[in-house]
Every structure is written in structure tokens, then in C-alpha cells.
A and B are shown apart, each in its own frame.
Chain A
Amino acid sequence: MRSGRRTWLGLMLSGATLLVAGTARADASVPHQLQAQLVGKLASFDRNFQTRAAGTARILVVRKAGDAESARVADNLARALVALRQVGGMPTQVDVEAFPGAPGLAERCRAGKIAIVFFSTGLEGEMAAAGAALAGADILTVGTTASDASRGAVVAFDLEEGRAKIVVNLARARAQNVSFKAELLKLSRIVG
């Protein structure tokens, strides 16, 4: 086959793949297992976590309804959190649910005494509303990609210099009664 035809064939195949492929969204570049381990550790640096959790670290992983990728990430995060057995020094209870809307999430967290909400992918557009609904609530919210911290999560993760970086939204933390110790903030990137 002449090289010119091969070139066109390659370009057509590439174009076809582009047409059928959906959006990948920003990949959670920090491996999920490492994210879960970090959540398990940083809860120990939240002065209010012990009081909030009251003996059991209840973690709610929320996914976007009807989004298979969001469900996959949520399941991976939940599995990694369960494997930790303890978060902030307390036994964990992990649930995965579809995002019920911002007001619904606030009610679910209040009723279920949720200590940590972990947003899966696909909920970037909901985070601001969720953050507003959770203002005044005593809860730690976590996003899987760095920009989630700017969108409304208290904590998110980025990959910087080939290592995980914790991103903290201090304003959101104050609004949700999360008080991180200086030792954690020194290791983090602060936004908001």
C-alpha cells in the first residue's frame, strides 16, 4: 500500500475514533488507592473529625446517576476506602450512592451523620451547589481532581512533580467546620 494511502487511512481511523469517543474528563491522575490512603491520613489532621465522626467514620461516595465512568471511579474509591479499615483512627463505613441533588445531599449527610463526602468524577457542575448546601454543616468534602477544590470541595488531589499534592480550599473548610492543623496545611496547596 502506498504511503500516501496509508497516511489517509490512519487519519480516517483517528477521526472515526474521535467521533465515537466520549469525553474522558480530567483523569484522576493520582491513583485511587493513593487518594483513599491520603483521605485516611488527612482526617487525622482535622481537629473536628473525632467529634464529627463520633466513633465511626461514615463516608459517602457520591456518583453521577447514569454515568458509567462516575460509577466506576466511585466503586474504586469505595473499595480502596474499605480496604483501609480505619480513617482518622476510626472504623469506616462506606456507602456509594447517586448524587441526590445539593439539598438532598445535605439532608442525607445530616440524617446519616456522614463525616466525609467523596465526589466521584462527573459531578464537576454540581459541586458549587453542593458546597453552598453544605455550608454550616459539619462535614469534610473531597474531590478527585485538583480543580474540584476550586469548585466547592474542601480537599482535592493533584499530581505535582510526579507526586500527590493535597489542595485545600480554606474558605470552604471554614464554612464546613473543618479545621486542619498547620502540619497539613504546610504540605498542601491552598486555594480559595
Chain B
Amino acid sequence: MRTLHPFLRVLCVASLGLAGLTTTTAARADDETELAELLSENVVSGASRTHEIASDAPATTSTITAKDIRRYGIRSIAEAINFLGMGLVTQNPLHSVEVAGRGVLLTADFGNHVLLVVDGHVFNEPWDGTAYLEQGAAIPMEIIDHIELVLGPGSVLYGGNAMFGVVNVVTKRPASYSGVHVVGEFGASPQHGKGGTFTSFAPGDLGRSYRLATGVGHELTLFGKPAQITAQLELYQQDGPSFEWGPQPATTDTGAPKNFGKRTPLGTWGGRSQRQYATTVPALYTRLAWGDFTVAARVASYNRSTPYVNGFNQFRGDFDEPQNRERDRWISVDVQHRGRLGSRLTTLVRAYADTYDYRQDLIVSEPTDCSVTSAGQCLQSALGRSRWVGTELQANYDWRGDERLTTMVGVDGRVREVGGQTDVRDSATRILLGTLGQRDVRQFVWAAYAQQRYSPFSILHLNGGVRLDTDPRAGNRVSPRAAMALDAWRGGVLKTIYSEAFRAPTFYELYYEDSGQLPASGLRSEVVRGVEATVEQKIGQHRFLMGGFRTSWRNMVYLGAADNGLIQYQNAASIENYGYNARADGGFGDFTYGLSVTGAHSRRKTPDGTEALPAAPQFYGNARVAYDLPGSWPTVALATSFVGRRPADRINDGGFAVPPYAPAEVELRLTLSDRVPGFRDLSYRLATSYVTASRSPYVAGPTQYVDPAAPGPSPVAELAPVNRLTTFLTLQYDFSP
């Protein structure tokens, strides 16, 4: 019998060995891929107020992690939304940001169409429904574990304001924030000139921001029970950069030159603003978990000045006047207890209390702009205040004990006291000249909700819910939702969702009045109905999503003409909107990527006709890549946020001969982050942000409206500038146990 040549024998053995190794290697690679896929599965709690895999949730969600917040140089919830989220986008008018959802933006709403929830506590306050998403949210970013963006009408479990959706913030527990942490951050921007040019990089001309923070995370035993505490105290301060404005000529109704204070010539608004663009936010957030109790508290203040007269919050006021400023203050406490009755019934009892006040001071040198007759310069102060205390009871019953058929029912009741007024004082003597629109109301508001979740098969997840809200301001509202998620094939999920949401008119919309505006006590709630369908595919760590949506908005509150030439909030508008969302994200080893895009078509119908939504971007999204360089090299991350061309806020009612549009805009942020070499517990984050556009979609200055009958050439709308270049450095020292 012939035998194999020794060389061939070795070759055969080697081939078999290689085949085995390859198979084993491939199998191991498969295991790693599948493990990584499981560990990249998002678990969300905001959509159904139950922890579940995102693909099973009755909403389209996107999750922004603490790691990505740090890696991409994110400094606020608004930036997280713009650079890392899907479906929502914010715009910065050099004031608190305005938020848009799926192509719908309602200017001057101060965030009252999106619900901000932090650790289960709703942050929207009842005076004007405001939720801030920039640094004014007063939630230290280092303490955030993750942010869930729950898109679409979401009143079914949360009540009013959740019309664009819910921004659900979950803070860290000590396991991921252990020890004491000290943070210092410094940022700078150059002086800006006309047309978005950079006119000076001299140190004395730079705009600056500072942030100092100290945080703690600790596990302990308290009165014999395990306890966990996380807390962060911080101070954020920003001053500038300075911008150049106008000049815009302005006269009174009698043709006399208007007085905008001592920093601009009489009859002219404009020049370089150097004193009226600043922000200060001291904030403390803490969360204590003790046994079955969780206590969260926030104490914060948001002080800011906006450098220009505009059409959304500052209709009058002197130019570059540092006393023109706003201030919000909050104290919030939330106590939750999770209990169990038997093996199938869980309970949540929550008690909460908040106090809030708002103040806007405006120095007005033009007596005809003072709401009360004034001989000279007046100080006009808009004041708002609210306090509310409430309790929520929730029960969740697992009928079969396997979490596939569960019923949640809940009731939420609160007492709120809301008030407001406008005081006009002599600015020199501070003598009160008059008070307008003073009103204080105490109201009881309650709601009841129910949600049924059913998975008849492991691949099918059904969710139906309804909520009844009673609100003395606008009557009762019922908000339903029905959703289905089908695991149609391996890694593939099909979802369809129908949902509704509402927003009751705010105290401000109902009762505010001044010399030019009437109160509107007959307002009804705004309502949105939405339907959407999505397809999601997971391949290893890579996820892809594509979906379409359609929404219909009714009873939209709209500042329209009333009697005698005055204005008044009215339910006079409706919006029709449809579009698509798409998203892709994933990673290859140390390289991660993500991108999202939203395209929409939105039209508003008012008594004046059908029109585009002012300032609402119809095409926007983001893209990002990051790479953990090997060894002692840093992580490099590049994030971009883009917004398409969009009409300015006065496009429909400004009467400008050339309709004002803001150009398309791309913001690029490059971030380097790592441990400081040689310092184990000291880390840094160095970032630069550059914006391609020079103008935002907000008309600036007293020329907000053009009289078509006025002689002479029609003025061009001046659009507010954009801070185009910022560089900042963050250092964090971690005293770990």
C-alpha cells in the first residue's frame, strides 16, 4: 500500500488544523459579535414607564449614553439632541433654545411642546409650560446616565405638553459615578462682526464661559438599609461673545425718533453689544436611593440676558443694557416608593413638590414703549410664579406572571398655585407706576391612565393605553395610544403606532395682558394626532431604522389680531405634517459611527391662509464618528449637526419684501478626550465647534414688521447672528475609593 509523501502528510494535517482553527476562530468571532449585539441592546423606560428592550417599546426612541456625551464634547441636553439624537432638533436664538420635532416648531413656545422628565419627575412648570434644554435645564451633564428621546405624541402616560415627545433623562447611580469628582471647564469664542466674520481674537475681546462642578457618588448603609447617593453641584457662567447689530432706524407712532438708551444714537437701534449676552446657572441635583425609596431634588437658578430686541420674548428694551435680563428659579423634590403586593402586583407611590418663579426685567428708555404711562425711562418687569404639590399612585399587575400580559393603572392629582403680573416702575426711583394683568389662581388637576401590554407570541408586542386629564384651564382631554411591534425576522422589527397628545393653554396665554395685548380666557387645548410606521434592522452591533410619520395638529394657539388693533392668543391655527426618520449606528472594534436624518413637510393653516411654519427646519440630522486610538493616544470624535434652509420667524407676518430665510447650517465639533498623561485620575476633553452659517432664523431689532404703506424702500429683515466658533477645555479629577 502506498503511503502519503511526508510532505503531503504534513500538509494535510496542517490544512485540517487550519480549518479547525478557522472554524473555531469564526465561531468565537460570532460569539463576540452576538455578545456585543446583546450588550448594545437599548433598554428604555420612557415609552411605557417600564423597562423594556427598545425594539419592543410602543414608540420610536433613541438613546444617548453618558459615554457619547463625554466623547463628543456635549455640554447640554440641547447639544445631545442635535449631535446624537433623532427626530428632534434645537435652534439657538442667543436665548433659551427652541425645539422642533419632526419638522414642527412653534416659535416662542419656550419648550412647552416637549416634556422634560428627569428620574420620573416632570420639569415643565405650569406657569408657561417651560422646559429648558440648554444649560438652563440645570442638570449637570456628568451626572446623566443616559437620555431617551421618545418621539411622537406622548400624553398617554405623562399628560400635557408631550406633543413632540418626551425627553427622558436618567441619572447615574454610584456604580458608574463612584467617588468624588471635580470638574473645571473653560470656553472661549472670538468677537463676531457683521456677516459672521471674526473681528478679534484678542484675549480681552473673547467671549468666555466657565463651569465649576463637584459631584459625588457613594454607596452606604443608612439606618440598616443599603443606600446610594449621587449628587452634583455646579456653577456655569457665560459672557459673550459680542456681536454687531443694525443700525436700524426706529420712530414712534408719531414719527419721533425712538430712544433705545445711551449706547446707541437716538432714533437708532444697533452697534456692538458687549454687556447683554450672559448666562449664569448655579445648580444642585441629587438623588438618594434608600431601600425602596428614591428621593430626588433640584435647586437651580437660570439667569440670562438676550442681546437683541426680538419677536419672541423681548419686544422692547434698551440696546446693550445689562439690566435687561431674565431669571428662572426652581426647587423640586420628588419622593418615590416602589412596593409589591404578592408576586404579581407592583406599586409606585410618588409625592412631589415644586416651586418656581420667573422674572424678566427690561429697561425701556422710550416712554411710548412702556406699558404704563411713564415720563421717562421705565423698568418693565414680567413676573411669573407657581407652586405645586401632588401625588401619583400607580399599580402594575402581571396577569400571567411572565410579563407578557400586564396592566398598568394610575392616578395623579396635584394642587397648583399659579400667578403672574407685569410691573412697570420708574427705573431711577423704582417707584411702582402700575401693575398689569395681576392674577393668582389655585387649581386642582387630576388625571387617570391605563396601559395594557400583551405579547400573545414572543415575537409580537401589543400596547394600548389611554389617559384622561382634567384641567380647569381647558376642560378634559382623553389621550389614547395603540402600538404594535413585530419581530418579523432575525434582527428585524416592524412597528406601527397611533398616539395623541395635548397641551392645555398656559397661565401666561390665558391671562397675560398689557397695553397691546388682551387676555384669552376662552382658549382650548392644542391637540395632535400622529401615526407612524418604522422598520428596524440589527446586524451585530449595527442598527438601522427607517420610518414614516403623519401628524395633524388642531386648536393651535396663535397670537392673532383681536379687537381695536390689539393682539390676543387664539385657537386659530392647524398644522398638517408628514415625513420620514432614518438612523444608522454601530461600530467596528474601537471605531463607532452614527447618523440620523429627518425630512418633513409641514404647513400651517391660519385665518391668513396656508403658510410655512416659521423657523421650522424641514430637513435636519447629524453624523458622527469616533475612534479610540491605541495606547496613550486620545479618543478622537467628530460630530456634525445639520439643518436645512428655513424661513425666519417673521416670514408670514413681517411683511418684508424679501422674505427672510436662514441659510442651511452645519455645525462641526471635533473632540479629543483621554486621561492626562502621567495623571491616572485626571482626564481632559478638548473640543472645538465651528458653524458654517452666520445667521439664525430669528429677526432681530425693532424692525419686526414692515408697513407696506410706508414710503421709501422696504427694509430687509436683520437675522440674529450665530456664535460660529467655540473652543473649550474640560478637566475632571476623580477621587475614586
A-side interface residues toward B, CB under 8 Å?
Answer: 1, 3-4, 6-7, 10-11, 13-14, 17-18, 20-25, 27, 29-34, 37-38, 41-42, 44-45, 68-69, 71-72, 75-76, 79, 83, 146-147, 158-166, 183-184, 187, 189
Query: A191: nearest residue on chain B (CB-CB)?
Result: B175
12 pairs of residues in contact across A and B, judged by CB atoms under 8 Å = A1-B444, A6-B444, A11-B351, A18-B339, A22-B339, A24-B292, A34-B53, A38-B38, A69-B343, A79-B402, A159-B43, A189-B175
Q: Are A162 and B146 closer than 8 Å at their CB atoms?
A: yes
Given contacts A160-B145, A162-B170, contact A31 B51 (CB under 8 A): yes
* Minimal beta-carbon separation of B85 from chain A (angstroms): 13
Residues from chain B with Cβ under 8 Å of A189 in the complex:
175
Tell me if A14 and B391 are in contact (CB < 8 A): yes
Nearest CB in chain A: distance from B555 CB, A: 27
B28: chain A residues at CB < 8 Å are 44, 183
Across the interface, name the chain A residue whose C-beta is closest to B34: A41
Do B53 and A31 touch across chains, with their CB atoms under 8 A apart?
Answer: yes
Assuming the contacts A10-B390, A18-B337, A161-B67, asked whether A3 and B444 have C-beta atoms less than 8 A apart, the reply is yes
Does B413 count as interface, using CB distance less than 8 angstroms? yes
Q: Could you say which residues of chain A place their CB within 8 Å of the CB of B226?
A: 147
User: Are B340's CB and A22's CB within 8 A?
Assistant: yes
Residues of A within 8 A of B351 (CB): 11, 14
User: In the complex, how many angstroms separate the beta carbon of A102 from the nearest chain B beta carbon?
Assistant: 21
Closest chain B residue to A21, Cβ basis = B339
Q: Chain B residues with Cβ under 8 A from A45's Cβ?
A: 31, 35
> Out of B146, B175, B342, B391, which one reaches A158, CB within 8 Å?
B175
Shortest Cβ-Cβ A-B pairs, 10 listed:
A21-B339, A68-B343, A161-B65, A3-B444, A162-B146, A24-B338, A72-B343, A10-B391, A41-B35, A44-B31
Tell me the minimal C-beta distance from B390 to chain A in angstroms. Answer: 7
Question: When chains A and B are docked, how far (Å) is the Cα of A187 from the Cα of B342?
Answer: 36
Asked if B611 is at the interface of the complex by the 8 Å CB criterion, the answer is: no
Q: Chain B interface secondary structure, helix, strand, loop or mixed? A: strand
Q: How many A-B residue pairs have CB under 8 A?
A: 147
Q: Which of B703-731 contact A (CB under 8 A)?
A: none
A164 is contacted by which of B39, B65, B390 (Cβ under 8 Å)? B39
Expressed in whole angstroms, the minimum distance between the Cβ of A143 and any Cβ of chain B is: 14
A31-B292 contact in complex given A72-B344, A75-B402, C-beta closer than 8 Å: no
B398 located at the interface, meaning its Cβ lies under 8 Å from any Cβ of chain A in the complex? yes
Interchain CA distance A27-B63 in the complex, whole Å: 21
- Residue of B31, B337, B338 contacting most chain A CB atoms (<10 Å): B31
B 162-218 contacts with A by CB, 8 A? 170, 175-176
Nearest chain A CB to B715 CB, angstrom units:
50
Q: Is B142 an interface residue (CB 8 A)?
A: no
Taken together as a complex, chains A and B put the C-alpha atoms of A161 and B146 apart, in Å, by 5
Contact A161 B66 (CB under 8 A): yes
Q: Identify the closest chain A residue to B52 (Cβ).
A: A31
Contacts of A3 in B (CB 8 A): 415, 442-444
User: Complex formed: what's the CA distance from A146 to B34 in Å?
Assistant: 22
How far does the alpha carbon of A153 sit from the alpha carbon of B389 in the complex, in Å? Answer: 43
A191–B344 CA distance with the chains assembled, in angstroms: 32
Cβ 8 A contact of B340, one of A6, A23, A33, A37: A23
CB of A24 within 8 A of CB of B340, answer yes
B227 within 8 A of A: no
Answer whether residue B251 sits at the interface, using C-beta atoms and an 8 A cutoff.
no
Q: Are B31 and A162 in contact (CB under 8 A)?
A: no
Question: Is B393 an interface position by the 8 A CB rule?
Answer: yes
**Once the chains bind, are B443 and A163 in contact (CB under 8 Å)?**
no
Give the docked Cα–Cα distance between A35 and B67 (Å): 22
CA of A167 to CA of B28, assembled, Å: 21
- Bound CA span A71–B28, Å: 35
Known: A3-B443, A23-B340, A146-B175. A163 touches B145 (CB 8 A): no
Which residues of chain A are near B344, meaning CB under 8 Å? 68, 72
Q: Is A23 within 8 A of B339, CB to CB?
A: yes
Contact A162 B53, CB 8 Å, known A24-B339, A184-B35: no
Query: B349 contacts the other chain (Cβ, under 8 Å)?
Result: yes
Query: How many angstroms from the CA of A96 to the CA of B591 in the assembled complex?
Result: 42
Q: Are B35 and A165 in contact (CB under 8 A)?
A: no
B491 within 8 A of A: no
Q: Residue B341 contacts which of A1, A14, A22, A44 (CB distance < 8 angstroms)?
A: A22
In the assembly, what is the distance between CA of A45 and CA of B27, in Å? Answer: 12
The answer to whether A160 touches B175, judged by C-beta atoms less than 8 angstroms apart, is yes
Could you tell me if B145 and A69 are in contact, using CB atoms closer than 8 angstroms? no
Measured CA separation A37–B34 after assembly (Å):
10
Do residues A163 and B43 form an inter-chain contact, with CB atoms below 8 A? yes
Check B413–A10 contact: CB distance below 8 A: yes
Q: Report the Cα distance A76→B226, complex, angstroms.
A: 26
For A13, list chain B residues within 8 Å (CB).
Answer: 391, 393
Interface residues of B in 621-663 (CB under 8 A from A): none
CB neighbours (8 Å) of B391 from chain A are 10-11, 13-14
Q: A21-B340, A163-B41 are in contact. Are A27 and B175 (CB under 8 A)?
A: no
CA distance A31 to B404 in the complex (A): 12
**Is B38 within 8 A of A162, CB to CB?**
no
Task: Indicate whether A187 sits within 8 Å of B340 (C-beta atoms), given known contacts A14-B391, A160-B175.
Answer: no
List of A residues within 8 angstroms of B402 by Cβ: 75-76, 79
- Interface set, chain B 437-490, CB cutoff 8 A to A: 442-444, 446, 458
- For the complex formed, measure the closest distance between the CB of B292 and the CB atoms of chain A, giving whole angstroms: 5
Set B34, B40, B403, B444: member contacting A32, Cβ < 8 A: B403
Q: Across the two chains, which residue of chain A brings its CB closest to B342?
A: A68
Q: Which residue of A lies closest to B343 (CB)?
A: A68
Let me know if B314 is at the binding interface, CB within 8 A.
Answer: no
- A17 lies within 8 A of B339 (CB): yes
Considering only CB atoms, which chain A residue lies closest to B442 in the complex? Answer: A3
**A164 in contact with B43 given A11-B351, A21-B340 (CB within 8 Å):** yes
Q: Which of B213-232 contact A (CB under 8 A)?
A: 226
Contacts of A22 in B (CB 8 A): 339-341
Determine if B606 is an interface residue (Cβ-Cβ < 8 Å): no
A165 CB contacts on chain B under 8 angstroms: 39
